[in-house]
């Protein structure tokens, strides 16, 4: 009885410590908070009890979207003026009429929130890739740590050419479908304490029947008439990819369903590439998606890809001084290097290289690596809050003589709006939580737990601390406080926006009621 009374008293007193997104109150009540943050605020035992209530009863306060400030997406922070005036990436959508037609409170809130968002503008890179084909590769555990001049020269060359993102962060620490979902839909996946509720865990399988008109598979088919194919070198039933990927417009092949492999866990990326390229290489226009597998841990002799490539890796690296785990990670990613090198060779032989864009990024950071392994590959210690999320996103096109370099801070959800603008597709940037990396908008790299990085600061949601850069520290204190508050609001709102879009099937509601947009497919 005493324990129950103390628990209730402690819960009732939580508001005294504040109710902001980083508070213990939010960790106790919010339906958006992730397990890591909640456990840090409440303790593992207390959080386990709270999450039990969420799992069985769906407890938690619904997040009310607060709306973004129009001035550069931050108080007092205007975007850099462009030398040329560009039109916004927006479409004719009557959000006021949609709000009136919405029967659900969440739908009305979304309409009002999206109407108030400031769209990103077209820019000097708009349409740079117009008419090109697209190959998307979600690399299992791929990160910038996999780039090694001696062992992965193809990937290193591609990372330094095309569109070079100097401050790209992979927002996710684990679970492949989180990175896949953000990569393909441009939305944040559900990583909250509610993510495991229901029969299907994770946003990809849970939303396999929802309508996603802005993903590459559908938009290439609808606006370019392209052949859209998807491949994964494991079973299609795993994470229900045989349902979720076709729902995104990709005609798919999986292990034992269109492809066969000499090993099963993990299977070879090179073998997947060898069995797939002929399916689309002669198509008039194509958009292809690959989810790789060879980079999966563990990075030791228990892994068949490690055993296949370790001797070649050692011979290539020579006396390297890497930890065994770091060496094994490179050996497994050598298979991805071979797959991409084969792909480029086939594209060049077919005369398609200079009209094909290849985008490669990881699903999450390589969590099988220890801190010592990561430090060995990076050549320095990496902190757990930010450094370990810094990664690589390759956006490469054959024939680009001069790299297009961006120093904007960006993350997974920014890739899709950037590609839609580069390909010159007609889309409304307000409908996606990410930002075109090459636009003049304010840029922020958000992480799964709503920590974030900008030119001015690094904010750690775990302890609510903000580390200001030299430029940020020169801002007046009031501006710093306003900027921090605005970015914290954006982190919460854009995440909640993504979950509400999926939960309410908002895109279907919007497309069916907006004449300027194409209606949903079957």
Rounded to whole angstroms, the Cα distance separating 133 from 398 reads 11
Rounded to whole angstroms, the Cα distance separating 386 from 183 reads 20
- DSSP bridge pairs for 252: 230
At residue 84, the pLDDT reads 61
- DSSP bridge pairs for 390: 169
Query: Quick check: 507 and 501 in contact, CB under 8 A?
Result: yes
- DSSP bridge pairs for 459: 452, 466
At residue 17, the pLDDT reads 84
| 138 three-class SS | strand
In 3D space, the residue among 71, 179, 78, 157 whose CA is nearest the CA of residue 116 turns out to be 71
Q: What does DSSP say about strands 445-446 and 452-453: parallel, antiparallel, or unpaired?
A: antiparallel
- Sign of torsion, CA 510 515 520 522? positive
332, two tokens: 């497994």
List the pLDDT tens digit at each of the 522 positions of the chain: 998 899 888 888 989 888 877 788 888 888 778 888 888 888 898 888 888 877 777 656 667 887 765 434 433 344 445 456 799 999 999 999 999 999 889 999 999 999 999 999 999 999 999 999 999 999 999 999 999 999 999 999 999 999 999 999 999 998 899 999 999 999 999 998 777 666 567 899 989 999 999 999 999 999 999 999 999 999 999 999 999 999 999 999 999 999 999 999 999 999 999 999 999 999 999 999 999 999 999 999 999 999 999 999 999 999 889 999 999 999 999 999 999 999 999 999 999 999 999 999 999 999 999 999 999 999 999 998 999 999 999 999 999 989 999 999 999 999 999 999 999 999 999 999 999 999 999 999 999 999 999 999 999 998 899 999 999 999 999 999 999 999 999 999 999 999 999 999 999 999 999 988 864 444
At residue 198, the pLDDT reads 61
Q: Which residue has the tokens 């709000």?
A: 99
At residue 16, the pLDDT reads 87
Which uninterrupted H or E stretch holds 253? Answer: strand 251-255
Rounded to whole angstroms, the Cα distance separating 382 from 372 reads 9
Residues 6+ apart with CB under 8 A from 100: none
Q: Which residue has the tokens 């993903």?
A: 215
DSSP letter string, 393-426: -EEEETT--S-EEEEEEEEGGGHHHHHHHHTT--
Q: What does the DSSP 8-state code read for residue 90?
A: -
Query: Quick check: 217 and 179 in contact, CB under 8 A?
Result: no
| 391 three-class SS | coil
Inter-helix orientation angle 324-349/269-276, to 10°: 10
258, two tokens: 């269109």
Burial string for 237-256 (b: 16+ CB within 10 Å, else e) reads eebbbbbbbbbbbbebbbbe
Residues 6+ apart with CB under 8 A from 75: 69, 479, 482, 483, 485, 486
At residue 77, the pLDDT reads 41
Neighbours of 85 (CB within 10 A): 8
CA distances from 137 to 8, 161, 287 (A): 49, 17, 11
Q: What does the DSSP 8-state code read for residue 132?
A: -
Q: Which residue has the tokens 């799992």?
A: 55
**Which strands sit side by side in the sheet containing 445-446, from one edge to the other?**
445-446, 452-453, 457-460, 465-468
In 3-state terms, the chain is what percent helix, strand and coil (to 5)? 45, 15, 45
Rounded to whole angstroms, the Cα distance separating 360 from 340 reads 10
DSSP letter string, 159-170: HTSSEEEEEEE-
* HSE of 497, CA atoms in CB hemisphere, 13 A: 26
Per the document, the length of the chain is: 522
φ, ψ (nearest 5 deg) of residue 126: -60, 125
Query: Quick check: 171 and 448 in contact, CB under 8 A?
Result: yes
In 3D space, the residue among 368, 422, 329, 424 whose CA is nearest the CA of residue 125 turns out to be 422
356, two tokens: 């094909």
């Amino acid at each position: 009885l005493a324990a129950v009374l103390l628990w209730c008293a402690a819960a009732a007193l939580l508001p005294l410590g504040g109710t902001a997104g980083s508070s213990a109150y939010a960790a106790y009540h919010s339906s958006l908070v992730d397990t890591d943050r909640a456990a840090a605020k409440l303790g593992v035992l207390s959080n386990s009890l709270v999450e039990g209530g969420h799992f069985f009863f769906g407890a938690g306060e619904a997040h009310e979207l607060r709306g973004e400030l129009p001035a550069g997406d931050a108080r007092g922070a205007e975007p850099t003026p462009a030398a040329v005036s560009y039109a916004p990436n927006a479409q004719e959508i009557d959000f006021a009429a949609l709000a009136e037609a919405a029967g659900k409170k969440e739908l009305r809130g979304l309409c009002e929130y999206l109407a108030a968002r400031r769209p990103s503008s077209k820019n000097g890179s708009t349409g740079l890739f117009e008419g090109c084909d697209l190959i998307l590769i979600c690399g299992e555990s791929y990160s910038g740590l996999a780039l090694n001049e001696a062992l992965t020269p193809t990937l290193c060359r591609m990372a330094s050419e095309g569109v070079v993102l100097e401050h790209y962060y992979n927002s996710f620490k684990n679970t492949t479908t989180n990175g896949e979902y953000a990569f393909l839909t441009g939305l944040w996946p559900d990583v909250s304490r509610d993510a495991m509720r229901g029969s299907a865990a994770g946003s990809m399988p849970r939303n396999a029947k929802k309508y996603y008109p802005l993903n590459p598979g559908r938009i290439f088919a609808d606006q370019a008439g392209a052949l859209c194919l998807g491949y994964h070198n494991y079973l299609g039933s795993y994470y229900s990819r045989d349902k979720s990927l076709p729902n995104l417009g990709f005609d798919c092949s999986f292990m034992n369903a269109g492809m066969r492999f000499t090993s099963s866990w993990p299977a070879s990326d090179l073998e997947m590439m060898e069995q797939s390229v002929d399916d689309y290489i002669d198509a008039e226009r194509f958009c292809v998606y690959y989810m790789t597998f060879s980079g999966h841990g563990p990075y030791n002799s228990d892994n068949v890809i490690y055993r296949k490539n370790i001797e070649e890796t050692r011979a290539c690296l020579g006396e390297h001084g890497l930890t065994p785990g770091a060496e094994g990670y490179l050996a497994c990613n050598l298979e991805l290097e071979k797959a991409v090198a084969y792909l480029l060779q086939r594209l060049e032989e077919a005369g398609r290289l200079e009209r094909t864009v290849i985008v490669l990024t990881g699903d999450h950071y390589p969590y099988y690596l220890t801190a010592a392994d990561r430090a060995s590959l990076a050549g320095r210690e990496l902190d757990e809050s930010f450094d370990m999320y810094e990664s690589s996103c390759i956006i490469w096109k054959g024939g680009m003589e001069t790299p297009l370099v961006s120093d904007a801070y960006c993350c997974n959800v920014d890739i899709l709006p950037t590609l839609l603008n580069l390909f010159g597709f007609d889309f409304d940037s307000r409908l996606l939580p990410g930002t075109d990396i090459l636009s003049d908008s304010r840029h922020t790299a958000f992480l799964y737990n709503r920590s974030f990085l900008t030119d001015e600061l690094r904010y750690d949601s775990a302890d609510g601390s903000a580390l200001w850069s030299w430029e940020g520290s020169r801002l007046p204190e009031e501006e710093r406080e306003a900027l921090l508050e605005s970015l914290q609001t954006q982190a919460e709102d854009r995440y909640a926006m993504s979950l509400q879009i999926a939960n309410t099937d908002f895109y279907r509601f919007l497309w069916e009621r907006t004449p300027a947009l194409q209606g949903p497919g079957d």
